[in-house]
Amino acid sequence: MSQKKRYHIHISLVRNENVNLENALEYALSTDYFLTWDLLATHTNFVEYSRQQIDQCDYMIFILGNDYGHLSLSGVSYLHLSYIYASSKRVPMIALVNTQPSQHELLRQRLDLFNLVIKEQGSRAIYFDQTHDGVPDCVRMLEEIKDKFPRSGWVKDTHPLRTLPTGASSDLKSVFVSDRFHIRNSVQPALTASSLERDQKPPELEARPTQVTPKALNEGLLVNYTAHAFEGGNLQEISAAYTFSWGNIVQMLQALPQPFTSSMMLTQINDALKDAAMAEALKISPKIHAVSRCQISNIDYQWIKSQLVKKQWLVSVKEERSIRELWQINIIVQA
């Protein structure tokens, strides 16, 4: 008998804005879906966690209530940035949008996000003004997008756990926990120089370049940054956001001497933001004549670095007689 598949749904929202709605969704969906939720925006790992879940999920529910959300350094809310990231990743999503008038409707950024969501999601946008009135439509629409955007999902393992019989010796450590996992016997052969050498990967295999498609390099990523703008003898700090492609990031890092340090990588990205910072500064005042100290948000920089390592486009390099952290770009672009 075939078993029902479960799917991972990530829910992006302003946490605790509408606890009753969160509870209603949890109650309606948790039986058939594995749910993850955005963290509170004040959490230090909020951005990294949100993007990680968006990358891993099968489908997404985006909730825009009355609250625009906690603002990033650029003045754009983290909720807004999560939506842009998910949209750039083409994650199949449903949008729950609150249409109940409030003082937040007057907030320009919230209105911009509202219009963007309605424009991009179209028929997959569900309007609600009470706590639960959008939940039944959300459940129904999830069934529709599963048919339109099929995902592999998974089937829950129903095999019982196999445990050691009562009174078994503590030395008996080899036991199958399930058909997927096996805890190895605690008695292991002694490690020797020859066994270590045999188990290690040859250096040439570790350095093998990763093949990358042009499509992957064309994917966009939004970063926040700050800069100093000069007008006459006055200085002001500006905050803005800019969209790179992964190809932009790789190209600028390839221009560095290989291998390079983390500080060289950070400086290269900051330098690449100067033209964008000048364009943003001129929107504030046409009399601004220079910008300096362009600095990408540390959260975004660390996320870019972790993603490059995860994709195996950026690899760590060991240098004899040096304790510095060195990196190099290690890709081949497919034709």
Tens digits of residue pLDDT in 295-334: 998 888 988 999 999 899 999 887 666 677 889 999 888 7
Which residues of the chain, if any, have pLDDT below 50? Answer: 1, 104-105, 161-164, 168-205
Alpha-carbon distance 32 to 44, whole Å?
31
Domain boundaries along the sequence of the chain = 7-148, 211-333
The gap between the terminal CA atoms of the chain, to the nearest Å, is 45
Alpha-carbon distance 282 to 20, whole Å?
45
Which pLDDT value is given to residue 2?
A: 52
Which pLDDT value is given to residue 206?
A: 52
For every residue of the chain, which 3-state class applies, written as one string?
CCCCCEEEEEEECCCCCCHHHHHHHHHHHCCCEEEEECCCCCCCCHHHHHHHHHHHCCEEEEEECCCCCCECCCCCEHHHHHHHHHHHCCCCEEEEEECCCCHHHHCHHHHHHHHHHHHHHHHHEEEECCCCCCHHHHHHHHHHHHHHCCCCCECCCCCCCCCCCCCCCCCCCCEECCCCCEECCCCCCCCCHHHHHHHCCCHHHHCCCEEECHHHHHCEEEEEEEEEEEECCEEEEEEEEEEEEHHHHHHHHHCCCCCEEHHHHHHHHHHHCHHHHHHHHHHHCCCCCEEEEEEECHHHHHHHHHHHHHCCCEEEECCCCCCCCEEEECEEECC
Q: Which of 3.40.50.300, 3.40.640.10, 3.40.30.10, 3.40.50.970 is the CATH number of 7-148?
A: 3.40.50.300
Tens digits of residue pLDDT in 147-168: 999 988 877 655 554 444 555 4
Which pTM was predicted?
0.58
Which pLDDT value is given to residue 208?
A: 80
Which pLDDT value is given to residue 37?
A: 93
Which pLDDT value is given to residue 180?
A: 34
Alpha-carbon distance 129 to 91, whole Å?
25
